[in-house]
Structure 1
Amino acid sequence: MQLPSRLSYTALALYLLAIPLAAQPLATEAPSFASASKLQLRWELATSSAGTQTPGRGASARLILTNHDSRPLPAQDWSLYFNCVCSMVTGAVPGKLALEHVAGELFRFRPAPGFAGLAPGATLNVEYSYPGKVVNLSRAPMGPYLVYDAAPAVGVRIGDYRAMPIAVKPAVTPEDTYRRNAGADPLPPSAVPPVLPTPLQLEKGPGQLVLRGRPTVSAAAPLSGEAALANALFPAGLPAGGPPLRLSVGTVAGQASPEAYTLAIRADSGISIVGNSAAGVFYGLQTLRDLMPLPGATSMALPEVAITDAPRFGYRGFQLDVARNFLGKQAVFKWLDLMARYKLNTMHFHLTDDEGWRLEIDGLPELTSIGAVRGHSDRPGLRLEPAYGSGPDPRDTNGSGFYTRADYIEILRYAAARHIDVIPEIEMPGHARAAVQAMAARYHRLQAAGSKDAAKYLLNDFQDRSVYSSAQFYSDNVMNPGLDSTYAFIDHVVTRVAALYKAAGVRLRTIHVGGDELADGAWEKSPASLARMRKEGLANIADLWDYFYDRVDTILRHQGLYASGWEELAARSTMLNGKRKLIPNPRFTQRGFRAYVWNNTTGAEDFANRLGNAGYDLILSPVTSMYMDQSYNANPDEPGVNWGGYIELDTVYDFMPLDMLKNLAPDARIGKDGLTDYGRAHVRGIEANLFSETVLEPARMDYLVMPRLLAVAERAWAPDPAWATEPDSARSAALHRAAWSGFVNALGQRVLPRLDLEHAGVDYRIAPPGLLVEGDRVLVNHVLPGITLRYTADGSTPTTASPPVTGPIAEHGVIQVAAFDRNGRRGLVARVDRP
């Protein structure tokens, strides 16, 4: 078997090759019946509007199945499997079929008694319902495949499947977009801020440093990596003998941060960068990159400047989820490079979840031989079920893959060379199904071999009769805190992970130990958990939670680490007036726990503030502004999910870390706690999160993350802008307009074009233009002033050959306008009709 280059991981390849043929999905189906490769499947929203709900059922949808084979789809004995990221109404559906929930987000249709089959050339419409609204394609079925009962181990993808566009009136019209874009002004190049993220102090000089040759870099040996970066910044075609470029570690006056630096560019003396540490020098070089002319410029000149700079927060993070859909090592390197370019210094590596365990752990091969592999199987314990459209084939590189120990060490060293810390996340006690399933398989394998150590790392109580459903609809995804083997497993994993950092020569300070979304009902009917509660004198499940994390904390401390986790790690579930309420957990406030606060949805807007005021160190990653997997807006053609809201570029830009209630309506702030001075001191940083449920290709990730990540970088590095602290509302609005104009002009005229011209391989989102019909003309604008806009008036889609927009469009017809990057890549098209 030849694995794609994206997944060249020897250990996984050897494992898959070693699976007995009887256990692999074979390229064989029931010979008398229609082949999945010759079936056509279409999904469409059946309701007249994405916002319309059928009373008692929610939105309606249909699957349209057409048989293009010469053989029939039989009346019985087959299943059509697929994934869906939201719940559906299961049971009998019209047409004598039944919709069944299999596990997690895996569903299937089965023929019910009376189904007549599907003859060659015939079409079947399958109607079903969602309990809630469907507003975009993220809730359409993913990865459908067919299984015949006669060959239950064989799953074959449907050969021709498409989710059809949701044809409704846009929730955000071109007029809406125009008015939103009008909050910024186009700026001439001379008025565009020269550096992003915004530095603390920048003084422009009167002249320029003209580069007629490559600068001569001088640096002490400990700065060899920075010297290499400095040399790489300049075009290879420049001759030698340019001005001096001096790199040094020294003292940046008035700045205590080790990441502080000064950058001086002078026509008469060249370039000098001094950092409080090598990291400071590195960030000074990133600023120098930002000041350089765009690739291809006719003149290589740098402006004279004197910059003193330091970050606002010591933690500036990006969470990369490779558990839901896997990313190969080279893709990780790409995002580390982008993080470094924009001065982000922490990659929160979401390595494990229900749907995948992505790191090789010495001594526990099942974690990757089972927990890192998704695909169809007719028996439990062989691999994980398909998820997020990964389909039936265990060789699919979205569903299957992991980093070998050597891979991970290479990632750690690559990140360290860019002054990025990598914080591994090992999800527990919930979101742990991949580990639970793997350790159960290990138990059964060793038990069959007569081993006395079979249960050494077991994570689930086989007698557990607890009834629960997780956020992803699993009922078997939690580690059991009543088992000593659970803690043996955690200790083993933590020890091996710490050893990887030691082998890489990289310091590990903390492990993120999950803690989020433990489903109500978990552990309640587990004999092992109930026995533990009796033994330890624990009154309720909340006490058992505390007991679990007390032991986890002890394991981490033994390795010299502190505990990080989602906000639930620092929360205590209690009751208030008969309703469940989360409060800061008083038990762990002095343990040094670091809480990543994600939930600021309605009712929880101030929970981060309450945790900080109680003494917990905080990383702020609120879903309403920092989740890069959320859609930009409610239009159906926008990818991403929407459970936490919609996040446009200005939503991220307007996030105020130390005043998270600032953008709430006045009545919504009533009764909410703000941050005290004590609480403010506990905000250690902010983080953008990308969960990868809908990320099936690199371009989708680029689209969702960029350019929103640039606004995250601005908020993490730069101090509060003047508009955020100005008490006068009119003055604040004027300051906001000026600052926002500077930011988006910098993106549109310099930052994103640099990525284009460097061919960095970043397919960032090119937003649709705004269009406004005013009298006898169409006004056009864009969120990124300076980007190229082209139009047509005959209803055709604009191309790079279409005329540019140079002002209002006076033509009549079907006006379509799109923006293009410097390489000719087109963004979403906006349209207005002018008869």
Structure 2
Amino acid sequence: MKYLLPVLLFIVLSTNSVFAQKKVADPTINGLRLKWEVIENNYTNKEKALAELTLITKQGFSLPASGWKLYFNSDEPVVPASPADNVSVTHVNGGLYCLSTEKDFGGVKVNDSLKIALVADSWLINVSDAPRGFYLVWDKTPAQAYAVNEPVLIPSTQTKQLMRTPADKVLASTPELLFEQNKIIRDIPADSLVKIFPTPDSYQATAAKFKLDATISIVADPQFRSEAALFRSELAKLLIQNGAIKNAAKQIKLVNKPMTPEAYELQVTNDAVTIAASSGAGIFYGIQSLKTLLPAQAWHRPQKSIMINGVNVTDKPRFAYRAVMIDVARNFQPKKEILKLLDVMALYKLNTLHFHLTDDEGWRLEIPALPELTAVGAKRAYAVDESKNLQPALGSGPFTSNTSGSGYYTKADFIAILRYANQRHITVIPEIESPGHARAAIVAMNARYQYYIGQNQKEKAAEYLLHDLRDSSIYSSVQDYNDNVIDVSLPSTYKFIETVTTEIEKMYTEANAPLKSIHYGGDEVPAGVWEKSPAYLKLKSTDTTIKNTDNLWSYYYTKVYNITQAHHLYLTAWEEVGSEKVIQNNVRQSVINPALADKNIHLEVWNNVLGWGSEDLAYKLANRGYKVILSPVTNTYFDMAVNKAFDEPGYYWGSYADLDRPFSFIPYDYFKNTVKGRLGETLNPAIVFATKERPTPQGISNIVGLQGALWAETLQSPERMEYMLLPRLTALAERAWAKNPEWATETDTLKSKSIYNEAWSQFVNVLGKQELPRLTYYAGGFNYRIPLAGAIVKDGQVIVNTQLPGLAIRYTTDGSIPTAKSKLYNNGIQAKGTVKIALFDDSGRSGRFSTVYP
């Protein structure tokens, strides 16, 4: 790589979170259209799919026989299915591919089209599987790219398009299937629902009514002044102000009372609201419960007064660690959206933000000592090399102006986020992904190296180098990168870790926010790394503990652990950090690593994929002394698609995960109600999991909490982030806060199912009638997912139900798409032809529509 960017420019760029790049208009490019269609899955009886990309020429545009390349991103490796198409698809790196012509390619004439058959290396089920981020590069102007409109996606409707294999038992979502799933849900009158969410330990409704208006005063014990100040500012937005809030006989009292950390008591009478706790966090959670007593309309527009129903509540959390992981590295989210996320986390008493700031596709945090990290590593765009930015990824296209691909948090942004979180009793744990998933850092430090080499400063150039330039090791990561792993044999690697740790620590200090831990990755390092690294071979010759590259794992994390300890932090990492590769009976296996156990290392455990063999990994690690955060892909990965439908976004490699998946999760025995496999096959837990390890009493004490994870490969806007996160986040909050439900411990299967069905009904009624109406307006309003209606035809009538009672059901009978003015469903639809049905929230926003043909 030739690196010409001066350090001054690094510093200038590092103060901007959104980058601009000049677009050169091509008057012909608007004439190129694309179409994408999945032909079939299980292609040639393998875990592959056949698809068709169609190039369509319009408006006087044509594609010549040669002289051009069409680049695009694909999550799955693709190759041409037929040599007769005379095209080739070259893998560039990661998910970037290049389609070019072969010798006998005939071109595409004006107003013509060409279908190209492509084979994908795995299944293609929904919209998130489609290639994206297309751009054209002419050979005669190789430095310039031209964005091409995204393909028109032809929906998959046939069995061969939606079935992964002949054994796939996960049915495609239909109105009839949804109706059957919703049948167990009882419509519960709103007045009989618990008005506080998540469900408190003890809740008693009373006949009292407290009138909240601008005359109410908030009286707080001295240690609760900051909580009182924040609550006053929130109330000021809800109430019409008739002059300054003045002292009155009616008060909201925040009082100190001995009790466990984060616990609180809340009493609402005719004359006062009293919240008692022993800590600021407890008082804050009492305030959040009081807020959920307020009607949803309170956040729609200011009110003269708000009536609050009387309650007596005592409450405390089940788990001390209640977390959300948000990935902003793959696709960036602006600071404003992170503040909204903190708002909704705080409302539902989630207290930890795991901030995934770096990965292969982006470095999103300004590190003042290393400005190259954001000057190069925070931008994605087409270029002839990566001296100034990373390659396009995940559909970000050829220009840095794409704000999901390019962007970062300045030091000031990050400090503001930390202060905002701290004010809401949320701890932020930053993640610096290493040693794998580190391509953004590696490329940025390579750029730094090239600059200083150009300045004839060899020692300074190598100061933070993250890979050995002479390393010829061959590997491929899960996301198909061949250069994304830090070389842990290099001393410069540890200077980098130390510098980043120190710089992050400074920002927390300036924000006056607690820094308890830094997450240093540990996820998905592929086989083959480091084997031909001169740095590794040198280390091996001098360190007798290093026998092979497998030993480097413990070597690296021992050093990283020591760095965090020196900064008075504990280490957080992914589950792999608690394991090591060993040879047993001539077979290379992964076993629990005892060397790092019992050191307060917190491991986030995601891999319980059914059939992969690690279903009990979380329990094994906890039993052997690691602190475990349960973040199972089957239940709390919010980037998983809700169900199987072409237009339902998200991944599904681990599971499909509707709202019931996080709600039904049993932290200490998730085998108990696991009755369906990854492909929807029926399982008998008593048989399938008979040999799996359960948590011991020590293991249970080491399970510190739950985490929902939202990876960002498919999140190209704040709206999509909110759609994937909500309302599933509410189910996570319920499981993390509320006490262990009766259905989770009941040994009689039929009785447990009956109790669960009632609890599920209560939960979805609370969501549909209280919390989703609130989230329609809270913090500016959230684009939560509105489900599709369930519907069947019975006795000539269309009968409709919903997963979330309380949402309005509207329909049309003329084939048009329902709007907020369409007819309201009451008790059956008498119609012939085409009936379309959609659910609507209080603002008139709808979800997708269901279609029934009576």
- Percentage identity across aligned positions? 40
8 Å contact kept, 2:253–2:272: no
- Alpha-carbon distance, 1:590 to partner: 2.4
For 2:644 and 2:144, locate their aligned partners in 1 and report how far apart those are by CA, in whole Å.
Answer: 38
For 2:349 and 2:124, locate their aligned partners in 1 and report how far apart those are by CA, in whole Å.
Answer: 38
Instruction: Please give the per-residue CA displacement for 1:225-283, whole angstroms capped at 9, x wherever unaligned.
Output: 3223433237322656666333435224xx42x2111111011x310111221111111
**Residue 550 of structure 2 is aligned with which of 536, 542, 550?**
542
| Cα pair distance change 1:576/1:813, threshold 3 Å | farther
**Aligned position for 2:619:** 609
| Cα pair distance change 1:26/1:759, threshold 3 Å | closer
Q: Which ranges in structure 2 are unaligned for 5 or more consecutive residues? A: 1-10, 160-170, 675-684
**Residue 594 of structure 1 is aligned with which of 596, 602, 614?**
602
- Alpha-carbon distance, 1:810 to partner: 3.0
Matched, 1:300 2:306: yes
Q: How does 1:182-331 map to 2 (within 5 A)?
A: 182-211=183-212, 214-231=215-232, 232-233=234-235, 235-237=238-240, 244-252=250-258, 255-256=259-260, 258-267=261-270, 269-295=271-297, 300-331=306-337
Instruction: Please give the per-residue CA displacement for 1:169-202, whole angstroms capped at 9, x wherever unaligned.
Output: 6712212111111222000112212111111111
- Alpha-carbon distance, 1:741 to partner: 1.0
- Alpha-carbon distance, 1:37 to partner: 3.0
Q: How does 1:25-104 map to 2 (within 5 A)?
A: 27=24, 35-47=28-40, 51-55=41-45, 58-89=48-79, 93-104=83-94
**Aligned position for 1:415:** 421
Q: Which amino acid aligns with 1:542?
A: D
8 Å contact kept, 2:73–2:95: yes
Instruction: Please give the per-residue CA displacement for 1:427-462, whole angstroms capped at 9, x wherever unaligned.
Output: 000000000111111111101111131101101112
Q: Which amino acid aligns with 1:528?
A: A
| Cα pair distance change 1:595/1:295, threshold 3 Å | same
**Aligned position for 1:494:** 501
8 Å contact kept, 2:61–2:111: no
**Residue 813 of structure 2 is aligned with which of 793, 797, 805?**
793
**Aligned position for 2:677:** none
Q: Which amino acid aligns with 1:691?
A: W
Matched, 1:468 2:478: no
Between stretches 678-687 and 232-241, larger displacement belongs to 232-241
8 Å contact kept, 1:28–1:154: no
- Alpha-carbon distance, 1:300 to partner: 3.1
**Residue 127 of structure 1 is aligned with which of 113, 117, 120?**
117
For 1:550 and 1:699, locate their aligned partners in 2 and report how far apart those are by CA, in whole Å.
Answer: 40
- Secondary structure at 2:461's aligned position in 1? coil
- Alpha-carbon distance, 1:383 to partner: 1.2
8 Å contact kept, 2:80–2:117: no
For 2:204 and 2:45, locate their aligned partners in 1 and report how far apart those are by CA, in whole Å.
Answer: 63
Instruction: Please give the per-residue CA displacement for 1:605-637, whole angstroms capped at 9, x wherever unaligned.
Output: 100000000010011101111111010011111
For 1:80 and 1:153, locate their aligned partners in 2 and report how far apart those are by CA, in whole Å.
Answer: 14
- Secondary structure at 1:72's aligned position in 2? coil
**Aligned position for 2:660:** 650
- Secondary structure at 2:809's aligned position in 1? strand
For 1:545 and 1:247, locate their aligned partners in 2 and report how far apart those are by CA, in whole Å.
Answer: 53
- Secondary structure at 2:553's aligned position in 1? helix
**Aligned position for 2:707:** 687
8 Å contact kept, 2:379–2:406: yes
- Secondary structure at 2:510's aligned position in 1? helix
Q: Which ranges in structure 1 are unaligned for 5 or more consecutive residues? A: 1-8
Between stretches 550-559 and 753-762, larger displacement belongs to 753-762
Between stretches 620-629 and 202-211, larger displacement belongs to 202-211
- Alpha-carbon distance, 1:575 to partner: 4.3
**Aligned position for 1:136:** 126
- Alpha-carbon distance, 1:829 to partner: 1.2
Between stretches 221-230 and 436-445, larger displacement belongs to 221-230
Q: Which amino acid aligns with 2:216?
A: P
**Aligned position for 1:622:** 632
For 2:672 and 2:57, locate their aligned partners in 1 and report how far apart those are by CA, in whole Å.
Answer: 56
Between stretches 62-71 and 233-242, larger displacement belongs to 233-242
- Secondary structure at 2:441's aligned position in 1? helix
- Alpha-carbon distance, 1:793 to partner: 2.1
| Cα pair distance change 1:15/1:619, threshold 3 Å | closer
- Alpha-carbon distance, 1:719 to partner: 1.3
| Cα pair distance change 1:785/1:797, threshold 3 Å | same
**Residue 145 of structure 1 is aligned with which of 135, 149, 168?**
135
- Secondary structure at 1:295's aligned position in 2? helix
Q: Which amino acid aligns with 1:44?
A: E
8 Å contact kept, 1:744–1:783: yes
For 2:33 and 2:15, locate their aligned partners in 1 and report how far apart those are by CA, in whole Å.
Answer: 32
RMSD: 2.1
- Alpha-carbon distance, 1:811 to partner: 2.5
Between stretches 781-790 and 218-227, larger displacement belongs to 218-227
8 Å contact kept, 2:340–2:779: no
Equivalent pairs counted in the alignment come to: 810
Q: How does 1:618-767 map to 2 (within 5 A)?
A: 618-664=628-674, 665-758=685-778, 760-767=780-787
**Aligned position for 1:484:** 491
- Alpha-carbon distance, 1:214 to partner: 4.1
Instruction: Please give the per-residue CA displacement for 1:372-426, whole angstroms capped at 9, x wherever unaligned.
Output: 1100001232210000110000222111111111111111111101111110000
Matched, 1:776 2:796: yes
- Alpha-carbon distance, 1:302 to partner: 1.6
8 Å contact kept, 1:90–1:99: yes
Between stretches 797-806 and 624-633, larger displacement belongs to 797-806
| Cα pair distance change 1:533/1:249, threshold 3 Å | farther
For 1:26 and 1:179, locate their aligned partners in 2 and report how far apart those are by CA, in whole Å.
Answer: 51
| Cα pair distance change 1:142/1:804, threshold 3 Å | same
- Alpha-carbon distance, 1:667 to partner: 1.8
For 1:456 and 1:378, locate their aligned partners in 2 and report how far apart those are by CA, in whole Å.
Answer: 26
- Secondary structure at 1:305's aligned position in 2? strand
8 Å contact kept, 2:515–2:569: yes
- Alpha-carbon distance, 1:212 to partner: 6.0
For 1:333 and 1:212, locate their aligned partners in 2 and report how far apart those are by CA, in whole Å.
Answer: 27
For 1:758 and 1:775, locate their aligned partners in 2 and report how far apart those are by CA, in whole Å.
Answer: 42
**Aligned position for 2:682:** none
**Residue 533 of structure 1 is aligned with which of 517, 540, 546?**
540
Q: Which amino acid aligns with 2:661?
A: T
- Alpha-carbon distance, 1:692 to partner: 0.5
| Cα pair distance change 1:758/1:426, threshold 3 Å | closer
For 1:238 and 1:552, locate their aligned partners in 2 and report how far apart those are by CA, in whole Å.
Answer: 54
8 Å contact kept, 2:76–2:121: no
For 1:112 and 1:718, locate their aligned partners in 2 and report how far apart those are by CA, in whole Å.
Answer: 62
8 Å contact kept, 1:243–1:271: no
- Secondary structure at 2:830's aligned position in 1? coil
- Alpha-carbon distance, 1:160 to partner: 5.9
| Cα pair distance change 1:759/1:379, threshold 3 Å | closer
**Aligned position for 1:4:** none
Between stretches 52-61 and 459-468, larger displacement belongs to 52-61
**Aligned position for 1:557:** 565
| Cα pair distance change 1:540/1:37, threshold 3 Å | same
**Aligned position for 1:503:** 510
- Secondary structure at 1:54's aligned position in 2? helix
Normalising by the residue count of structure 2, what TM-score does the alignment of the two structures yield?
0.91
8 Å contact kept, 1:533–1:544: no
For 2:202 and 2:542, locate their aligned partners in 1 and report how far apart those are by CA, in whole Å.
Answer: 60
8 Å contact kept, 1:37–1:157: no
For 2:425 and 2:497, locate their aligned partners in 1 and report how far apart those are by CA, in whole Å.
Answer: 28
For 2:220 and 2:304, locate their aligned partners in 1 and report how far apart those are by CA, in whole Å.
Answer: 29
- Alpha-carbon distance, 1:734 to partner: 2.1
Instruction: Please give the per-residue CA displacement for 1:502-554, whole angstroms capped at 9, x wherever unaligned.
Output: 11111111100000100111112212112212321112222111011111111
8 Å contact kept, 2:268–2:310: yes
For 1:54 and 1:600, locate their aligned partners in 2 and report how far apart those are by CA, in whole Å.
Answer: 29
Between stretches 674-683 and 61-70, larger displacement belongs to 61-70
8 Å contact kept, 1:217–1:244: no
